[in-house]
Structure 1
């Protein structure tokens, strides 16, 4: 017999959920209509939301920006504690995609039976919605801790999704340096996330003094707390009996309470004081100079271009990607740790962000060789197999991030004989770094004043009266985007030492790979150059069938243009960058060691002596560096006076870390720069523009160029 009562209860629950969703959607749409009316001419508009709700609301955000505020850069920050909400959204998106396809087909079918104007409107609406659905599906939302940034609508709509405890997420988010980036309004529609006093004050910390708070589910006590925190409240208790526009929520009278504003300022100041050893200062107004010509510099230029900033890139080579980012194929996959700590979480966020950048650029027509075919990770000895097993067993990793595979599954995934257990990273794969680099620059130069000067070897940087000047070795460069001009519209003159001078710039970013430590101001940065030789192997026989990236003692890619890449060597402080036969042989031996007695390994042919050599800058903790450049000379002078005592701990905690004003670092990307670099660039661009940075405080501390010293100094340890 069927369980009739259970089915009735299930249907009742389903109807109730649909009613709640309908009410929330109505509240959501009404809230957005009101916001558009309140801020019709804003160039930047930031909204906060407690609870992820449903897929339809995400689509509404994208369509609202497209149609109602096309000239506004729209930031939406969503805080959700329930990881299962992401899976629910993804399922809803697939269903919506199917429904919308049927809508399009229906609109075309009915074209002859209705007026062309009406049917075209419906068809156009379906097309817009389908494009919005595709953007979110392509973004690959995954239930990982921390912030995931989605850049949509040609860079005009940014959705930050924070997964984890909501109070912690709010507390660990730094208030933006620029008040224009404070949140204008908050929406609370979730029955699952109540607003307690601490949560409301953390929301207030990130908000404008006149920020609106609209909620469909607040008690009188919560309403009073929100008023005390200085929020403007809206009557948001919509129901089916008041669907008309006249019943839309309207802001209450402004609560002119200086106490609440003082409390907000106090919260922000306390947060800044506790984080002053990892300062997050913005850039000054004016053109931003960037030294470098790889993934870091070009993706920083793209992130800044989306904010309408002017950028001048100074590249020592004749084209981009002549250094570490010049490999034909670069693997992308996360670096996971058993504890899934801050570094592991950053790599997952970086992987997803890189994928989003890639798919967006490809969709826009940029030619980037890539294959998101996944990465298969196997051990090459007992120790490495044990490490992999500890990682995959320690956490309930989202299946999209990593999952264990059997020996047979590994063989099936690779389409060649692997016959080893391992871990599969489904969202990984390979990208052509040169293509990715060039596409980022080309896109940036289309939307803002972004130019590059090639053959421009900057040998010295100098600050004078708050401005930075760059000194180039003898010879002139070529401006990629200014016709017959020889410079970047900045003053250049001949110095006494016969060097060209570029500047002034109020802001300078060092993103020059293994040249990061070549300047006096940056020579003590804790990063080391490691030579890497990648071998190029012709695709043939069984090897040509490889369908996923292999990672073991070395890595091996599927073929592209009839070549595989394998390697790479790892030589500290190399004496030269010439081709090395010994390293070529070592790359082969790594594959032979990793996959013993496999017939396809015999197809790896290194006799053509085809390879490429680059130098990666590696940090001791494998984390990139981004942020203000530390003034190590001042720090070491202070260290002579303040060390190894309780008083010294207080000194380092109570005083801002010494930095070079207007100088920033973006480097130390190591051997996985294509995974971590684009997100690091986006985070630094957010900092430079005074925005809310899409990384929590623990991650910003991990990535700060000052971290190696400050970790010790604030604990009273010797350097």
Structure 2
């Protein structure tokens, strides 16, 4: 569990860490010191104007009050404003100018939100940025929290946990991801763990060639450790009364990378991307691509979005957590928190969708569930803000009705209207592309064939019984749910189709008292438009979308079997309508996000895995290079698709990635092939 920092404020109003007995920033002028030591000494203002990528990446040891991040954000806004002001000049002078800022920061003991609010009052000139940071400040969950501002132009990856441990968990390419380092832990004499050679070596692992660093300290063992790690180091004039500080540069990246060869995703030049699908996965992808200004062409076989598994009237949004710190739990916890921040930002930007963040109450309706909840509570892996156990009395108070069941409560969860949310995300993507590369969409367009040519990927479509070809595209991303296996290239995609039907039942005066989403074996939502959503059935290996009366009765009987002794369940009215869809899943209940893995190619390249050898591999031939998969979200797409889309595009674009390496491998499209090779099954 992550522990918050214990702090107090000294007579000057400066926050002081009790554990380290050190200030978070200078008593004299912390903002001026931050600007001089980190922003100026890394020469960032000039580098933003001439860089080899359209984004610039900074990493920081010690987030503290976020002062360095906020100042860098402020300076980046000035950079963008200056470029826009000078748009009458020759446009080519800005060809290498940076459009996006990516800031990575590590914090072992995060400040509480209330303490952070007080600390940032010292900088009224940063208030317009501080308010946004505070509105998105994450709960104390270990791992990477991706926070986005300015329509994705500013990205903060805030890692809660020890810096060494955090870097060791990261997913990163051989070329590195960091352009500049802010070494800003507490003084080396008071916090020696952050100034070790192992940390410096890990910094090199994720740094790009010519990455720079700056730090307020000039301690000899710090200088020697950085030199031994590979940085060239020199002294510079310190800030204010400090005589010296250190600056440095890494001449050459060391080519370290986080993934085994069979789990490495290709990087790409995303010039023109085709996205196939019409649900939450495709809208999430379109939004991620739009934020980066990447020209995208979207293809949907239906006449509108969210006509497949995303078409229900109400969908519950909450994470699926286990009683262990597994890749599965990490994936869902961070995906849920990212999705929640994204949805709140959409609403703040004026996009609308019906919703209620009323919390989700998971009842222990059977002994196995009760045991699972007890185990979850006993392990205490998850912050209370994310999930906590409740007694029957506490649960009934939260729900507003009497059920008699204990359970676990997800206070940040709730329900959304899926079609409205998918459309809101789609409209947000289109709004971003007004001033960048266009987003084109084709509806009633069934893609029948994918073909890789020397020029790129070509797509053959059936539109109103007429064939039309689109392309070429540098990359194709298939996120078509249960239809993702319809192409020759993807026919071996091991999709498990699970048909589900949700019934809409009339609310009663008693049932209208329900204040939270209820989960039992299925789920039951608070009333909306005079009805509750009740469901859902599970029918494996079926792709039928036909609504049946039998499934309506199954849903009703299941609800009554658990709640027959309550006041609300027997009082419900008639079932007036229903919706059926096919959930696209895989056998491990995780999605796929990454480069399509050709089984024959893997069998030839990694044949030694059959012999128990993890070496002497052949190179992958990658016959389908540029073809990617994003699908398999089952019933949890609105919880997990947005961050999965971000991870995929970040991976392809050589950007810092939001998922850890173990999560990246857990959702890699090659995972089943690798497993079967190791087990000698193929």
1: CA distance, partners of 2:621 / 2:679 = 15
1:144-182 per-residue CA deviation (whole Å, 9 max, x = no partner) reads: 222110011221110001223322321332334667x54
Name the residue aligned to 2:214. 214
SS of alignment partner, residue 445 of structure 2: coil
Aligned partner of 1:187 among 169, 183, 189: 183
Q: What is the CA-CA distance between 1:14 and the residue it aligns to?
A: 8.4
Structure 2 vs 1, CA of residues 194 and 250 (structure 1 numbering), >3 Å: closer, same or farther?
closer
Name the residue aligned to 1:74. 101
1: CA distance, partners of 2:621 / 2:657 = 20
SS of alignment partner, residue 263 of structure 2: coil
Structure 2 vs 1, CA of residues 63 and 138 (structure 1 numbering), >3 Å: closer, same or farther?
same
Q: What is the CA-CA distance between 1:207 and the residue it aligns to?
A: 1.8
Name the residue aligned to 1:413. 398
SS of alignment partner, residue 570 of structure 2: helix
2: CA distance, partners of 1:379 / 1:666 = 33
2: CA distance, partners of 1:312 / 1:426 = 38
SS of alignment partner, residue 602 of structure 1: coil
Q: Do the aligned residues in 2 keep the contact of 1:212 with 1:232 (CA within 8 Å)?
A: no
Structure 2 vs 1, CA of residues 130 and 331 (structure 1 numbering), >3 Å: closer, same or farther?
farther
Structure 2 vs 1, CA of residues 407 and 470 (structure 1 numbering), >3 Å: closer, same or farther?
same
Structure 2 vs 1, CA of residues 232 and 451 (structure 1 numbering), >3 Å: closer, same or farther?
farther
Choose between structure 1 and 2: higher helix proportion: 1
1:1-150 equivalences under 5 Å are 17=17, 20-23=23-26, 26-30=32-36, 31-34=38-41, 35-42=43-50, 43-69=54-80, 72-82=99-109, 85=110, 88-95=111-118, 129-150=126-147
Q: What is the CA-CA distance between 1:636 and the residue it aligns to?
A: 5.2
Q: What is the CA-CA distance between 1:222 and the residue it aligns to?
A: 2.0
2: CA distance, partners of 1:162 / 1:344 = 17
1: CA distance, partners of 2:396 / 2:15 = 46
Structure 1 range deviating more: 161-170 or 329-338: 161-170
Structure 1 range deviating more: 277-286 or 429-438: 277-286
1:673 partnered with 2:658: no
Name the residue aligned to 2:520. 552
Name the residue aligned to 2:598. 631
Q: What is the CA-CA distance between 1:65 and the residue it aligns to?
A: 3.1
1: CA distance, partners of 2:256 / 2:605 = 29
1:270-309 equivalences under 5 Å are 271=258, 275-309=260-294
1: CA distance, partners of 2:660 / 2:623 = 21
Q: What is the CA-CA distance between 1:335 and the residue it aligns to?
A: 0.9
1:634-649 equivalences under 5 Å are 634-635=601-602, 644-646=610-612
Aligned partner of 1:453 among 436, 442, 463: 442
1: CA distance, partners of 2:628 / 2:12 = 58
2: CA distance, partners of 1:55 / 1:585 = 54
1: CA distance, partners of 2:332 / 2:554 = 28
Q: What are structure 2's unaligned runs of at least 5 residues? A: 1-7, 84-98
Name the residue aligned to 1:682. 646
Q: Do the aligned residues in 2 keep the contact of 1:380 with 1:552 (CA within 8 Å)?
A: yes
Structure 1 range deviating more: 392-401 or 621-630: 392-401
2: CA distance, partners of 1:513 / 1:360 = 26
Q: Do the aligned residues in 1 keep the contact of 2:59 with 2:104 (CA within 8 Å)?
A: yes
Q: What is the CA-CA distance between 1:334 and the residue it aligns to?
A: 1.0
Structure 2 vs 1, CA of residues 141 and 460 (structure 1 numbering), >3 Å: closer, same or farther?
same
1:362-382 per-residue CA deviation (whole Å, 9 max, x = no partner) reads: 000001211111111112211
Q: What is the CA-CA distance between 1:548 and the residue it aligns to?
A: 1.1
1:505 partnered with 2:473: yes
Structure 2 vs 1, CA of residues 248 and 311 (structure 1 numbering), >3 Å: closer, same or farther?
farther
Name the residue aligned to 1:607. 575
Structure 2 vs 1, CA of residues 321 and 569 (structure 1 numbering), >3 Å: closer, same or farther?
same
Name the residue aligned to 2:3. none
2: CA distance, partners of 1:667 / 1:15 = 46
Q: What are structure 1's unaligned runs of at least 5 residues? A: 1-7, 101-124, 477-497
Name the residue aligned to 2:545. 577
Structure 2 vs 1, CA of residues 296 and 14 (structure 1 numbering), >3 Å: closer, same or farther?
closer
SS of alignment partner, residue 378 of structure 2: helix
How many residue pairs align between the two structures? 640
Q: What is the CA-CA distance between 1:267 and the residue it aligns to?
A: 2.6
1:504-523 equivalences under 5 Å are 504-523=472-491
SS of alignment partner, residue 666 of structure 1: strand
Q: Do the aligned residues in 2 keep the contact of 1:509 with 1:664 (CA within 8 Å)?
A: yes
Q: Do the aligned residues in 1 keep the contact of 2:170 with 2:659 (CA within 8 Å)?
A: yes
Q: Do the aligned residues in 2 keep the contact of 1:184 with 1:212 (CA within 8 Å)?
A: yes
Name the residue aligned to 1:491. none
1: CA distance, partners of 2:567 / 2:615 = 63
Structure 2 vs 1, CA of residues 552 and 458 (structure 1 numbering), >3 Å: closer, same or farther?
same
Q: What is the CA-CA distance between 1:232 and the residue it aligns to?
A: 5.2
1:598-631 per-residue CA deviation (whole Å, 9 max, x = no partner) reads: 01012333432x1111111111111111000011
Name the residue aligned to 1:617. 584
2: CA distance, partners of 1:61 / 1:644 = 50
Cα RMSD, aligned residues only: 2.9
1: CA distance, partners of 2:9 / 2:591 = 53
Name the residue aligned to 1:705. 669
Structure 1 range deviating more: 518-527 or 387-396: 387-396
1:130-529 equivalences under 5 Å are 130-176=127-173, 181-191=177-187, 192=191, 193-217=193-217, 219-231=219-231, 233=233, 235=235, 238=238, 241=241, 251=247, 261=252, 264-268=253-257, 271=258, 275-448=260-433, 449-465=438-454, 467-475=456-464, 499-529=467-497
Q: Do the aligned residues in 1 keep the contact of 2:15 with 2:24 (CA within 8 Å)?
A: no
Q: Do the aligned residues in 2 keep the contact of 1:555 with 1:566 (CA within 8 Å)?
A: yes
1: CA distance, partners of 2:515 / 2:232 = 56
Structure 1 range deviating more: 376-385 or 668-677: 376-385
Structure 2 vs 1, CA of residues 93 and 168 (structure 1 numbering), >3 Å: closer, same or farther?
closer
1:50-98 per-residue CA deviation (whole Å, 9 max, x = no partner) reads: 112114445434433334555631111012233xx1xx2412244368x
SS of alignment partner, residue 91 of structure 1: helix
2: CA distance, partners of 1:265 / 1:705 = 28
2: CA distance, partners of 1:236 / 1:399 = 46
Structure 2 vs 1, CA of residues 265 and 654 (structure 1 numbering), >3 Å: closer, same or farther?
farther
Q: What is the CA-CA distance between 1:294 and the residue it aligns to?
A: 0.9
Structure 1 range deviating more: 67-76 or 574-583: 67-76
